[in-house]
Amino acid sequence: MDYFGIASILIVLSALFGYINVRFLKMPITIGLMVITIVFTLVAVVIGQFDDTLLQTEREFISNINFETLLLDVMLSFLLFAGALHTNFEQLKVQRWPILVFATIGVMTSTLLVGAIIYPLLISMGFNVSFIHCLLFGALISPTDPIAVLGILKKVGAPKKLETKIVGESLFNDGVGVVIFLTIYAIAKKPNAAIEFSEIATLFVQEVGGGILLGGILGWITYKLMKSIDNYEVEVILTLAAVMGGTLIAHKFHLSAPLAMVTAGLIVGNDTIRETSMSEITETYVDKFWELIDVLLNTILFVMIGMEMLVLTMDLNYVYAGLIAIPLVLACRYISLFLPVKLFAKRLDFVPKTTLIMTWGGLRGGISIALALSLTPDMSKDLFLVITYIVVIVSIVGQGLSVGPIIKGITKRYVN
């Protein structure tokens, strides 16, 4: 099937499932779409026991989609730019230090903790896994998903300080998490080769530092070009060009495209820059355009997540391992956030029980699945893919549906 056919089917399914969700289920759109898609896939599996036509058609369709490449190399840049564009820059600036610590030291700590704890657990269950591959799992499961949680936080009216911490951390820890994963992946691919610390440091600095620098340059150029004209059609296209051209440059020079897009989006979306570079009509069209892109790609992404269950090797022992991993991943995230929150709590007036809220509100999403799909068979891919899928599904559905009431209960007396 060609690209147009794949895109057409995904959009048709997204529109149909989105309608069902809005008309009947009334769940947050990302959660509703994924639930409906999983139910649709399970129905196809059941029907497949009698007539496998629908099941084989769905399997063939999924096999034509390179989920990893589509998300990491294409969709992620658009989604992160859109998220950053609508993030409160002033609040982000106030909360910059805890967000920086959460997105770097927090992700590294979580990676090490998950890897170190799940390794002996899997060994005790009879799985033949290596420690470095468990660290890879720690790296892919530690980044949180700003896409899945942003709409929920806005819907429940979460305090802006809390919303900024969760969304800001998620925007940046996606890029950092991918870089950590790629660094460990490079080591795992050459287990017997001597890899110097300087090589690892160079890779990390190049990806992270280079990505942020590129994003800064892209944001500044886009701002200057938009400031010099007053034509909303061209200015919208300029923002689109920044994302698409910037992603190509990042891939060409091995820089972090996610971090580049977050940085560029924060600059272009900054209130001060908006006032000097966009007319009122331009600002409206830029915001609406990127909101539509955000919703469209989100619907497609979560439909694909629901359908990806067909590529899993559903061994019962893998499922047990996935269920065990759920509380483990949550505990490691809580520990990785505990000290940073304590460090900044008094100075920045944190919302009560911030660590608990950020732990439960730190949903896992498509990035974790995409990274798990990039593992090779010798890295216990089938096992870690099932574990990742179970953690992501429970995270998005279970945590996603309950994080709103939890935030309301904890912060009902908190004044912005």
Percent of the chain with pLDDT over 90: 63
Whether 170 and 114 map to the same domain: the answer is yes
Last residue of a domain, one of 11, 41, 63: 63
Residue pair 212/259 in contact (Cβ under 8 Å)? The answer is: yes
Last residue of a domain, one of 12, 42, 63: 63
Whether 297 and 185 map to the same domain: the answer is yes
DSSP character string of 230-270: --HHHHHHHHHHHHHHHHHHHHHTT--HHHHHHHHHHHHH-
Whether 330 and 350 map to the same domain: the answer is yes
Please choose, from the candidates 332, 333, 350, the residue with its C-alpha nearest in 3D space to the C-alpha of residue 341: 350
Whether 32 and 103 map to the same domain: the answer is no
pLDDT attached to residue 149: 66
Whether 278 and 380 map to the same domain: the answer is yes
What is the Cα–Cα distance from 236 to 249, expressed in whole angstroms?
20
Whether 57 and 93 map to the same domain: the answer is no
The confidence band for 35, taking pLDDT boundaries of 50, 70 and 90, is very high
User: Is 282 inside any structural domain?
Assistant: yes
Whether 36 and 164 map to the same domain: the answer is no
DSSP character string of 42-104: HHHHHHHTT--HHHHHHHHHHHT--HHHIIIIIIHHHHHHHHHHTS-HHHHHHTHHHHHHIII
Per residue in 344-377, pLDDT tens? Answer: 887 777 778 889 989 998 889 899 999 999 999 9
User: Is 416 inside any structural domain?
Assistant: no
User: Is 341 inside any structural domain?
Assistant: yes
Per residue in 166-189, pLDDT tens? Answer: 888 888 988 899 989 988 998 888
Q: How many domains does the chain have?
A: 2
Q: Over range 1-29, report the average pLDDT.
A: 92
Token pair 């690892």: residue = 200
Whether 40 and 170 map to the same domain: the answer is no
Q: What residues make up the domain containing 40?
A: 3-63
Whether 128 and 206 map to the same domain: the answer is yes
Q: Over range 25-42, report the average pLDDT.
A: 90
Instruction: Write the Ramachandran bin of 124: left for phi over 0, alpha for psi from -120 to 50, otherwise beta.
Output: alpha
Whether 79 and 57 map to the same domain: the answer is no
Residue pair 90/271 in contact (Cβ under 8 Å)? The answer is: yes
Per residue in 197-217, pLDDT tens? Answer: 677 777 788 899 999 999 999
User: Is 293 inside any structural domain?
Assistant: yes
Q: Which residues contact 13 (CB under 8 A, 6 or more apart)?
A: 37, 303
Q: Is the pLDDT of residue 242 over 60?
A: yes
- For the CA atoms of 55, 58, 61, 63, the dihedral, rounded to the nearest 10 degrees, stands at -60
Q: Over range 185-197, report the average pLDDT.
A: 73
Instruction: Find the CATH number of the domain harbouring 86.
Output: 1.20.1530.20
pLDDT attached to residue 72: 92
SS3 of residue 144 by DSSP:
coil
Tell me the pLDDT of the chain averaged across its residues. Answer: 90
Last residue of a domain, one of 23, 44, 63: 63
Whether 234 and 379 map to the same domain: the answer is yes
Whether 153 and 299 map to the same domain: the answer is yes
Q: Over range 53-74, report the average pLDDT.
A: 91
User: Is 355 inside any structural domain?
Assistant: yes
Per residue in 312-354, pLDDT tens? Answer: 988 999 999 999 999 999 999 999 999 999 888 877 777 788 8
